[in-house]
Structure 1
Amino acid sequence: MELEPELLLQEARESVEAAQSYRRELGQRLQGLREARRQIKESASQTRDVLKQHFNDLKGTLGKLLDERLVTLLQEVDTIEQETIKPLDDCQKLIEHGVNTAADLVQEGEIAILGGVGEQNEKLWSFTKKASHIQLDSLPEVPLLVDVPCLSAQLDDSVLNIVKDHIFKHGTVASRPPVQIEELIEKPGGIIVRWCKVDDDFTAQDYRLQFRKCTSSHFEDAYVGSETEFIVLHIDPNVDYQFRVCARGDGRQEWSPWSVPQIGHSTLVPHGMLLPSHS
């Protein structure tokens, strides 16, 4: 049985409206996919930059520390060398002086001997007297090699394995932050922010909540503590705010990466004094 023209037209209109609604829904989902893709791409790019900067800083710091340690050790070598060489230098000067004295004495004695005992008798007596005053049997003591410092460097190769182990374990890459904002509840002049852990392996000691107007480029702290919700006051009505939260692991000093920022606003105008609460 054929439909009447009016019913057919109505059904066609409804089909068009359904198709338009379906297209809008698909468009919104495509937009959601684009935002999800952009978040992955941008966070991956930022993470790469953070990793590169951190490890470049680490290499620079380690290189500087190694250079400073090398300078210290080289200075120790210089000090030991100078202190232990000085007695040898003094001994060498004494020996060289003795060598020169003996050489002069040999030359003078040979001349006196060549003159015989005649006219040169006076030279022989003078030489013999001079030689008797020089201790030709007194030799300076030269230290044995076993008694002389022999410098060396003691370098523990195990430090390389220790450093290697620490480096191989240094840093982690997470697909998502350990905490996320789960709910924003508008209140007159304020917004209650609730968050939760999404990483079961992460033990949180403290949380840190920040917010800013969407038109601002600077986040400011709203709360630091162990609670998992907080009411942010002095919120301008009908103004979009961005919220983010991070956590500090038990026994750790550094904060975790920030959660994905969430946008919220309050349409409720403040009435009187609004006291902080966790209701």
Structure 2
Amino acid sequence: MMEIEVQTELLQEAKESIEAARNYKDELEQRLQGLNQARKQINGSSVETRDVLRRHFDVLKASLIKLLDERLVLLLQDVDKVEQESVKPLDDCQKLIEHGVHTAEELLREGEVAVLCGTAEEKLGNFTKKALQIQLDSLPEVPSLVEVPCLSAQLDECFLGFVKDRIFRHGAVAARPPVLIEELTERPGGILVRWCKDDDDFVAQEYRLQFCKNTICHFEDVYIGPDTEFVVLHLDPNIGYTFRVCARREGRMEWSPWSIPQTAHTTLTAHEWITGCEGFSLSSRRDMALRNDFPTCGVLYSKEPTYTSGQTLTFRMEAAGQPDKRDSIGVCVEPQNGCDSLQRDKAVCISSNGAVFVNGKEMTNQLPCVSAGSSVTFDMEVVSLGSVFNDAASFKLRVIISSGNREVVFDWLLDHPCDALYFGCSFAYPGWKVLVY
């Protein structure tokens, strides 16, 4: 009997060891796969970087040669221009002198003939008269060598050293891009992308975020600006999207290399406003609502109770109308027809003037006024499920409402657990446009 128990125990230990060895092998193979991916990333990025460097310097060399040739042509044209302008007065002077020489030669011949015919007073008189008219004592001015241009090339001997120094400092090879994506968080109908610098010496002026649908693989810009996070909206649920980000140094025009692409997807469907409310006009995706000119209007609610604790609900004001103390933006347990505001029981909200209401009562703490461009966020988490024996308060939510650079935190007591909440808004006057995500 003892031998059977020992054999059974040994068999069980052997099975456990086999299972442990199998799990160990699987873990090691996964790590090998990770190492292979890391090696591929290094080798692939090295090949790509070499190609980028070669292409860049080939283009740079061709451009430099072209620029030098163009500069040489301009300088040679300057030489031609100065030469032509400087020689023209000399040519004019030469023509004048040559004309004088010719005139003098003719006069000389006439004088010699007149002298040979010494008895012809008329010829001697005409010759003397002609000689006086020519003004044989008047000679043209010929410029001295110091008065005419002497062309030379003025070249900066330090230029080559300057260019050499700039070339030696041109370009750099970095082991990692200066910016990396550190967080991808799913949002209803979107993904929150957060990034950070991976190089403390890199002073970023602005960032550029791109994304693409994995089935298309064509990146497009989705954000350019100074912020280090952005919610990419209007994404299809359960579809993979790839994101990458780069940065631009302060005072520079070129962008840095792209970060390592990161892929994520959202399982949460987008928030939607309910249709049919006469006081509001909705966008095609029903995530943006515009308070129209309809004279009377109640509360516009969400289509379904899609906001749950642990998520962040954001209202972004795309436009603003005339504020009113009855305005409200917030969440509630259930819709109530006939109400013109969320400032009521079983609801928490913020008014356009920044006042916060919990179950219809105004809090002493107040947030900044809501205006065009403002974003109001709601974050909630369950802090107490209460007790079935306590009818007064069986469910407690910790609520954080943020607007601008301020926030209020409070506990919201409900009489029964609530898995999901409705969101809503109301505005007394037209012109307000709110996007929810």
User: Given the two structures, how large is their TM-score scaled by the length of structure 1?
Assistant: 0.83
Q: Please say if residues 206 and 249 of structure 1, whose CA atoms lie closer than 8 Å, have aligned partners that are also in contact.
A: yes
Structure 1: distance between partners of 2:378 and 2:113: 116
Counterpart residue number, 2:412: none
Query: Are 2:179 and 1:179 equivalent residues in the alignment?
Result: yes
More RCO (CA 8 Å, sep 6+): 1
Is the partner of 2:162 in helix, strand or coil? helix
Change (3 A) 1:161 1:2: farther
Give the strand-richer structure, 1 or 2.
2
Structure 1: distance between partners of 2:252 and 2:100: 72
Is the partner of 1:242 in helix, strand or coil? strand
- What pairs up with 1:88-167 in 2 under 5 angstroms? 88-107=90-109, 131=131, 133-167=133-167
Q: Please say if residues 246 and 258 of structure 1, whose CA atoms lie closer than 8 Å, have aligned partners that are also in contact.
A: yes
Counterpart of 2:56, as a letter, is H
- What pairs up with 1:222-233 in 2 under 5 angstroms? 222-233=222-233
Q: Please say if residues 314 and 378 of structure 2, whose CA atoms lie closer than 8 Å, have aligned partners that are also in contact.
A: no
Counterpart of 1:70, as a letter, is L
Query: Are 2:70 and 1:68 equivalent residues in the alignment?
Result: yes
Q: CA deviation at 1:82?
A: 1.6
Counterpart of 2:97, as a letter, is I
Counterpart of 2:67, as a letter, is L
Counterpart residue number, 2:193: 193
Change (3 A) 1:7 1:167: same
Residues 80-114 of structure 1: CA distance to partner in whole angstroms, max 9, x if unpaired? 2222211111111122223333344445555666x
Gaps of 5+ in 1: none
RMSD (Å), alpha carbons: 3.1
Residues 211-244 of structure 1: CA distance to partner in whole angstroms, max 9, x if unpaired? 1111222112233333322222222222111111
Query: Are 2:73 and 1:83 equivalent residues in the alignment?
Result: no
Give the helix-richer structure, 1 or 2.
1
Structure 2: distance between partners of 1:271 and 1:90: 90
Gaps of 5+ in 2: 273-286, 288-312, 316-376, 380-437
Q: CA deviation at 1:62?
A: 3.3
Counterpart of 1:142, as a letter, is V
Q: Please say if residues 209 and 243 of structure 2, whose CA atoms lie closer than 8 Å, have aligned partners that are also in contact.
A: yes
Is the partner of 1:140 in helix, strand or coil? coil
- What pairs up with 1:21-40 in 2 under 5 angstroms? 21-40=23-42
Is the partner of 1:81 in helix, strand or coil? helix
Q: Please say if residues 247 and 255 of structure 2, whose CA atoms lie closer than 8 Å, have aligned partners that are also in contact.
A: yes
Q: CA deviation at 1:166?
A: 2.6
Counterpart of 1:249, as a letter, is R
Residues 34-82 of structure 1: CA distance to partner in whole angstroms, max 9, x if unpaired? 2111111221222222222223333333333333333333333222222
Residues 181-233 of structure 1: CA distance to partner in whole angstroms, max 9, x if unpaired? 11222233222222222212222332222211112221122333333222222
Structure 1 vs Structure 2: percent identity of aligned residues?
65
Q: CA deviation at 1:13?
A: 3.2
User: Given the two structures, how large is their TM-score scaled by the length of structure 2?
Assistant: 0.55
Counterpart residue number, 1:13: 15
Counterpart of 1:156, as a letter, is D
Aligned residues: 277
Counterpart of 1:90, as a letter, is D
Is the partner of 1:50 in helix, strand or coil? helix
Counterpart of 1:214, as a letter, is N
Counterpart residue number, 2:247: 247
